[in-house]
Amino acid sequence: VLMRAAGIPARVVTGYQGGEVNAIDDTLVVRQSDAHAWTEVWLAGHGWQRIDPTAASAPRRIDGGLAAALPEGEPVPFMVATDLAWLRALRDRWEFLGNAWNQWVLGYDQRRQQSLLRQLGLDTVDWRQLGALLLAASGVLFGALLAWAHAHGRATDPLQRQWQRFEKKLARRGTPRLPSEGPADYARRAAQAHPAVGAEIMAIGERYAALRYGKTAHGRGELTALTTRINRLRIQCP
């Protein structure tokens, strides 16, 4: 203001001064606590010249940061303390992870992609071949996931497992269950298809429906009895 009042062009420049080198990746870390403002004036024949009044009042604030500018004995704020080795190491690691995220995730561009492909030996691969390779790999992965889901997707309920065994027995003898059939309807149709064991099939179907949809919980003895009946069921091919 004084310079402008004297007819000398002046301006305020804001930015950062200072910073610390991260001990892990040797990057220069500039924080908000390093923010600074300068005054510049226009001198004929010299252009814009910096005039920094704060450098004269507290030069250590400019050279060493806020912690160095505090009077002796003044407590240093926890977040700007640099004499705590464990805190400084923890902060360096946190800032290293943040910088790695910015560089390899947020800043992942075509140049980094090509560099990664070059390290993997894929820089000379035709993009159509690479696309076909990725498509094939996706198909294999999808097939593996389907196989895993099929292998692990079987019923874990003991009662349901026994009913599935019963269904497989009938399906092997030419009477698979239709998607629209419930236990009673399926047992009735299977009994008609295999009249020699029709009564036993109906008994198994009715017992399963009672255990599955009944109001009272079934015990181990009832499940064992149903399992025994299914094991003893012998179905002849029609």
Tell me the per-residue pLDDT of 91-143, one tens digit each, with 9 for 90 and over. Answer: 899 999 999 898 888 888 888 877 877 887 766 667 787 788 889 999 999 99
pTM over 0.75: no
- Asked if residue 111 belongs to a domain, the reply is no
- Asked if residue 134 belongs to a domain, the reply is no
Band of residue 37 on the pLDDT scale cut at 50, 70, 90: confident
Return the pLDDT at 148.
81
The answer to whether residue 18 scores a pLDDT higher than 80 is no
- Asked if residue 126 belongs to a domain, the reply is no
Comparing CA positions, the residue from 119, 19, 26, 97 lying closest to residue 62 is 19
- Asked if residue 151 belongs to a domain, the reply is no
How many Cβ atoms are within 10 Å of 115's Cβ, its own excluded? Answer: 12
Handedness of CA 92, 93, 95, 100 (dihedral sign): positive
- Asked if residue 7 belongs to a domain, the reply is yes
The answer to whether residue 54 scores a pLDDT higher than 70 is no
Rounded Cα–Cα distance for residues 208 and 211 (Å): 5
Return the pLDDT at 67.
56
In total, how many domains does the chain have? 2
Domain boundary among 26, 56, 74: 74
Contact 60, 51 (CB under 8 A): no
- Asked if residue 129 belongs to a domain, the reply is no
Domain that holds residue 60: 2-74
Band of residue 154 on the pLDDT scale cut at 50, 70, 90: low
- Asked if residue 238 belongs to a domain, the reply is no
- Computed over every residue of the chain, the mean pLDDT equals 82
- Asked if residue 68 belongs to a domain, the reply is yes
Domain boundary among 30, 56, 74: 74
Domain boundary among 74, 94, 119: 74
